[in-house]
Amino acid sequence: MARGAAGIAPPRLDHTLVTAPEPGKAIEFFQTVLEFRLSEMLVAPDGTVIAAWLWQRPAPHDIAIVPGKPGGFHHAAFVVDSADALFRAADILAMHKARIDYGPGRHGITRGTTIYFFDPSGNRLEAFGGYTAYQMDPDSRAIRWTQDQIGPAVFYYSQELNETFLSVYT
């Protein structure tokens, strides 16, 4: 069978989302030591950054850091080339009876199309893409989201987070 004929066949890993008990320290490390740039952030009412989406290549993000336990892994995302490819991925996941966590949908943060699902070992994965309008400008300012905007920031269409998205990670 030809590559991609029966499966999603993503061309590359796009990003990961990890957790940190003190997200500010982790975010500062990625910015200072690894020279990542902030594309978007979630801020507390006092202005403290409590989650961040960071990039090095011209894409919405390479890594995201959110509050959680030390060394927590929330998901790895594989790129798909278009919204059509995302719907194809959803069809393939359904045909294989994969456990779908959310989607297909769209993020407010990054404006990317998304579908979250679990592999047989219980790891959350994402097919992500279709963000053609999103161009990273090295001089751009990070987009700020507030805690009251977290629902549409993460899941733009449903406007709210689902329980497993908040509670399931390793």
5 C-beta neighbours (distance < 10 Å), count: 7
CB 65 within 8 A of CB 50: no
CATH number at residue 130: 3.10.180.10
Task: Read off the pLDDT of residues 94-115 as tens digits, 9 standing for 90 and up.
Answer: 999 999 999 999 999 988 899 9
pLDDT above 60: residue 125: yes
Question: Binning pLDDT at 50, 70 and 90, where does residue 74 land?
Answer: very high
Is residue 157 in some structural domain?
yes
The whole-model pTM stands at 0.89
Q: Does residue 3 form part of some domain?
A: no
Label residue 78 by pLDDT band (50, 70, 90).
very high
- The total number of structural domains in the chain stands at 1
Of 31-35, 56-60, 61-65, 158-162, where does mean pLDDT reach its minimum? 56-60
**Contact between residue 18 and residue 74 where contact means Cβ atoms under 8 Å apart:** yes
Q: Residue 4: its pLDDT value, please?
A: 46
Phi, psi at residue 44, to the nearest 5°?
-75, 165
Q: Is residue 2 part of a domain?
A: no
Instruction: Check if the beta carbon of residue 113 is closer than 8 Å to that of residue 86.
Output: yes
Average pLDDT, stretch 27-38?
96
Angle at 11 (CA atoms; ends 113, 26), nearest 5 degrees: 65
Q: Are the CB atoms for 13 and 77 separated by under 8 Å?
A: yes
Active site residues: 15, 61, 75, 107, 116, 126
Range of 149's domain?
Answer: 13-167
Q: Is residue 62 part of a domain?
A: yes
Confidence bin at 58 (pLDDT 50/70/90): confident
Residue 6 lies in a domain: no
- Indicate the pLDDT class of residue 2, thresholds 50, 70 and 90: very low
Residue 23: CA atoms inside 13 Å, Cβ hemisphere, count? 20
Strand order in the sheet with 99-106: 99-106, 113-118, 124-129, 72-80, 13-20, 63-67, 49-55, 37-43, 143-146
Confidence at residue 134, expressed as pLDDT on a 0 to 100 scale: 57
Cα(52)–Cα(42) distance, integer angstroms: 6
Indicate if the pLDDT at residue 136 is higher than 80.
Answer: no
> pLDDT-derived band of residue 168, with 50, 70 and 90 as boundaries?
confident
**Residue 117 resides in a domain:** yes
- The stretch 127-139 carries a mean pLDDT of 69
C-alpha triplet 74, 91, 124: angle, nearest 5°:
10
Residue 7, domain member (yes or no): no
